[in-house]
Amino acid sequence: MHTPSSMQVPAAPGPVLPPRHPSAFPAHLPGLESTAVHDEQDVWLQDALFGPFSADIVEYLRIARTTAGPVLDLGSGAGRLAVPFARHGFPVEAVDRDRRSLRRLRSWAARIGPHVERLVTTSHADMSRLRLRHRYQLALLAGAMITAVPPRERPGMLREIAAHLGTGGALALDYTEHDPSGLAAAPHRTWSFPVPRVDGVTEWVVARQVFDLNAQLEHITYYCDRTEKSRIRRSVLTADKWIVDRGRLAEELAAAGLCITDRRQQQLDERTRSVLLVCRSKSD
């Protein structure tokens, strides 16, 4: 779910209501990369939050150089990863459930040139009901996209991905790992960060997290402030994600025939880590 609006960014965000009971959510929660804006005037907000400045592009490109292509970009959004991969010569299939994001992706690739456009194909699909047609050397669930998939749907998605990896292929994914005791002690968190720009625009985002441990859900509200010359634009975006349990995810990967061959983590604070997993077929 997302809520673009023209609400003002509060200096200190007020309390955010806890997420509803999971039965009140739609069956398939959107993750960050597949969050779509309502209209073209709000496109900047999606771009500010989700690309093209994300540092993970470099790491995923490094992995791709060890596997070669083709690449499967799941939850591609408007091409934050897919287009840079194509620019580096990798054939990419970009999958997303938002048609407007896929149109933006194709438009971006076309603007760069035919050498990029011909390497990109797009598929409109929901990851929870994923049905793949080709084989890939690298499958990506970047931008914590795995948190967009309900736990009951995740094993089937992982099996589908594993069945379509070529020999020596890999699945690479990232997510935020939370310390359970830390979440219980502090279920509400707020932080702010600048969005890197090189065009004279100043952007700041205040993010407010609310965790529901019973439902294993995380609700995030982004209060975004963009200043360009004398104009200030303020918007609000919300997203809901599933909390990933490390042990359960490992069991689901193993059941899909995948083993974790590389785990890297970066400590974000005393209770939170950013985790990147590289998984390969047990039969390789």
Nearest one of 126, 121, 51, 117 to 92, comparing CA atoms: 121
Check pLDDT > 60 for residue 25.
no
> Where are the domains positioned within the chain?
47-178+244-281
253 vs 231: CA distance, rounded Å: 48
pLDDT at residue 190 greater than cutoff 70: yes
Q: What is the pLDDT of residue 226?
A: 81
> Which pLDDT band holds residue 120 (cuts at 50, 70, 90)?
very high
Report residue 205's pLDDT band, with 50, 70 and 90 as the boundaries.
Answer: confident
Tell me what pLDDT residue 115 has. Answer: 93
Higher pLDDT, 43 or 262: 262
Alpha-carbon distance values, 208 to 58, 114, 162 (Å): 27, 41, 35
φ, ψ of residue 167 to 5 degrees: the values are -60, 125
pLDDT of 216 > 60? The answer is yes
Residues 6+ apart with CB under 8 A from 58: none
Distance CA 36, CA 98 (A): 7
Average pLDDT, the chain: 80
Looking at the predicted structure, is the pLDDT value of residue 6 above 60? Answer: no
CATH architecture of 47-178+244-281: 3-Layer(aba) Sandwich (3.40)
pLDDT in tens, 125-141: 988 888 999 999 999 99
Cis peptide, bond prior to residue 10, ω within 30 of zero: no
Two tokens at 136?
A: 């890939």
Phi, psi at 264, each rounded to 5°: -125, 145
- What per-residue confidence (pLDDT) applies to 35? 41
Percent of the chain with pLDDT over 70: 79
Mean per-residue pLDDT for 145-153?
91
- Whether 98 has a pLDDT exceeding 90, the answer reads no
Instruction: Render pLDDT for 66-79 as a digit per residue (tens, 0 to 9).
Output: 999 899 999 988 88
Task: Tell me how far apart the alpha carbons of residues 103 and 7 are, in angstroms, rounded to a whole number.
Answer: 28
Those residues whose C-beta lies under 8 Å from the C-beta of residue 184, and which sit 6 or more positions away, are: 213
What is the model's pTM?
0.79
pLDDT bucket at 200, cuts 50 / 70 / 90: confident
Which of 283, 275, 281 lies closest to 260, judged by CA?
A: 281
User: Residue 111: exposed, middle, or buried by beta-carbon count in 10 A (0-12, 13-18, 19+)?
Assistant: exposed
Contact 118, 93 (CB under 8 A): no
pLDDT, tens digit, for every residue of 226-244? 887 878 888 888 888 899 9
Calculate mean pLDDT across residues 106-130.
92
